[in-house]
Every structure is written in structure tokens, then in C-alpha cells.
Amino acid sequence: MYETDLSGEDFIILSDQPGFRVEKIEQQASHDLFFNEDGSGGKWTIEGVDPVFSEWIEVEPSEDGKSFHSLRSDEFEPTIPDFSGESYAAAEEYISGAEIPDTYMVLPAANKFRIAYETDLVEEVIIIAFYLLHGD
């Protein structure tokens, strides 16, 4: 399995806008139910299952005050709810109809950053999302 996100990494937010200041960065993770039925090693989400999301958690600036250290996936675990009974039922139904016998698994699905910033002209909030790919 590999993840293509900023989980547990240092990063810097830069802009060429005059007076740019990061006011607050929050991070959120989500899980989804994934399956693999074609033998390729790739994993896909299951139709009818909605991902579950953690709470937004504030990312503190690093000691230098300019960079940030993102949270690791395991730091979100206590705030990610379990899937609903309907989601598990949809996953079971999907798997039971598959041509190749398989199962499903809970895996991280996305890593999002909500960034509140100011410039000399505006105050904005943007969300940057990293959707994760899973495979062999």
C-alpha cells in the first residue's frame, strides 16, 4: 500500500500576494471501504458507501514559525467514526455479487487541509484535498 499525501510531512505555504499571512491550518482525514476484484492489486471504493471523516484538527506551526508539520493518519484515529450499518450492508451486498470472491477493507481515503489566510486585500479559506491511491 502507498499513500500520496502529506501525512506526517513538513510543508510551507507560499504566495506572491502582498501581505500574505497564514492564520490557521486544520487537517482532516477520511476512511472508506475499498475492494479489489480484478487481481491487479488496485483497490477501489464501493458504490453506496459514504466515507467517514475525522474532526478538523489544528496543525501547529513548526519551531521556525514558517513551516508546518502535518498530522499522521494514526493521529486521527480517535476522531474517525465507524461506518454505518447501511455502509457495511452495501459492502457485503457488493462483494456477494462479485464475479471473483473477495472482501473489503477499511483504508485511508483522503487527507484534507483547510487553510485560513489573509492578504492585504482579502481574507480567505481554502481546502486542499489529497485523495489516496492504494495498490500493491
Give 86-98 pLDDT, tens digit per residue: 999 999 998 888 7
Which residues neighbour 19 within 8 Å (Cβ) at sequence distance 6 or greater?
118, 119, 120, 121
Fill in the DSSP letter of residue 61. Answer: B
Q: Are 30 and 53 in contact (CB under 8 A)?
A: yes
134 falls in which pLDDT band (50, 70, 90)? Answer: confident
**Average pLDDT, rounded, for the chain:** 86
Q: Specify the pTM.
A: 0.81
pLDDT value at residue 1: 34
Q: Are the beta carbons of 57 and 26 closer than 8 angstroms?
A: yes
- Indicate if the pLDDT at residue 3 is higher than 50: no
Element (H, E) at 93: helix 85-96
- Beta strands 52-53; 57-58: pairing state: unpaired
